[in-house]
Amino acid sequence: MNDKVKRTFLPAVLALSVSAVSAAQQHPEDSLPAINRPFQDSGTTVSGTEIISSDAGTSYTGNYGLDASWTLYNGGENRKNIRLQELECEISRLDTEETVKTVEEEIIQLYIQILYSSEAVAICRNTLDVSLAQVERGKELYEEGTLSKADLSQLQAQASSDRYNLVSSETTLQDYRLQLKQMLELDGDVLMELAMPEIPDEAVLSIIPDKASVYASALESRPEVLSGKLDVDAAELNIAISKAGYLLKPVSYPEFLQAVEKASKWFSRREARQDSIFVKSDYRLVQIKFSDILYIEGLRDYLKIHLAHETSPVLTLMSMKSMEAGLPSDKFIRVHKSFIINKTWIEAVDRGRIVIGKTSIPVGDNYKANFQKSIGIDG
């Protein structure tokens, strides 16, 4: 570039630069390129009337970000959860097996009762035959005058008593047969002949297994025992999972939320595992949901389970202690030696009595403090 071009070009460039700076000072927002919009820049070298070189370029300005998270280790929580689900499936299978075993035991017990009752009928029939023979013999002696009328009346009374015992034994036998038909879901008019085994004397006098052997066998085979062991394993896994989600200060909100969701799932699984109970009533097993139970009333060896949507209670042969152990303690509480209530259905507590529907249930002195504590009342 010659001196004349330089003298002409440079003042023009300087004037353009000064005007650009002044415009930028007055409107600084116009001097900056928009975010994510292209900014073009070009330059040209001129020599006389010829363009020696020309450069052009386009640039982009803006901010870009990428957020992500990756859990490298969570204490083996996933594997523990899988193992926990496997244990729960096995526990459910054992619960089903326990129900099947219960039905089988009921059938076996009825069969044994039928055997005993059949033997009792045979004994009563033989006794009656002997009594009738004695009555006939007594009549002959009475006619001959060697037996008093009082003695003959006594023989006749004994025969009547033996006849009553025979009828009672036959009725008991028929009742057990009917119960067995109901357990086997057979119609009442179906003829059922049971095999009566012939047991030799040496089998009757065989040695009965000792208690230790029976107990060891039960620990290895009974489904409720195996289910209890799995419950312990599941509890230990839940503890391990909880430790895997242990929060250390300072705690971020996502970590706190994840721990709360995990705890909520664990409690939901525990509460959903059992929502009902099976009781025996009228020779059959009845399933009753916990949410339907209003209260349970004790009547010596029997219990009356009052339900929300039933007019008649369910009667079952069971102790209050056994029933209390099978109910969830967060919903049910014993308030009297003869009453267990469902706290969900409490309508009011009026002068030491609990109102559930139209029933007023007393609170025993020995249970008052525990009941008040459970519903949040001091003293």
Which ranges of the chain have pLDDT less than 70?
A: 1-76, 188, 204-207, 240, 242-248, 266-273, 378-379
Residue 100 sits at φ, ψ, to 5 deg, of -65, -45
Model confidence over 175-228: pLDDT tens digits? 888 888 888 888 767 777 777 777 777 776 666 777 888 888 877 778 888 888
Arch. (CATH architecture) of 274-379: Beta Barrel (2.40)
Tell me the pLDDT tens digit for each residue of 316-342.
998 899 899 888 888 899 999 999 999
For the chain, domain boundaries? 3-60, 77-199, 274-379
Cβ–Cβ < 8 Å for 344, 295: no
Q: What SS3 state is found at 62? A: coil
Asked if residues 379 and 371 have their Cβ atoms less than 8 Å apart, the reply is no
Q: CA-to-CA distance for 135 and 97, rounded, in angstroms?
A: 56
What Å distances lie between residue 81 and 30, 232, 314, 358, CA to CA?
A: 59, 15, 39, 46
Q: What is the DSSP letter of 27?
A: -
Handedness of CA 75, 81, 86, 88 (dihedral sign): positive
Q: What are phi and psi of 160, to 5 degrees?
A: -65, -40
Q: What are phi and psi of 38, to 5 degrees?
A: -70, 145
DSSP string, 179-233: HHHHHTT--TTS----------HHHHTSPPPPHHHHHHHHHHH-HHHHHHHHHHH
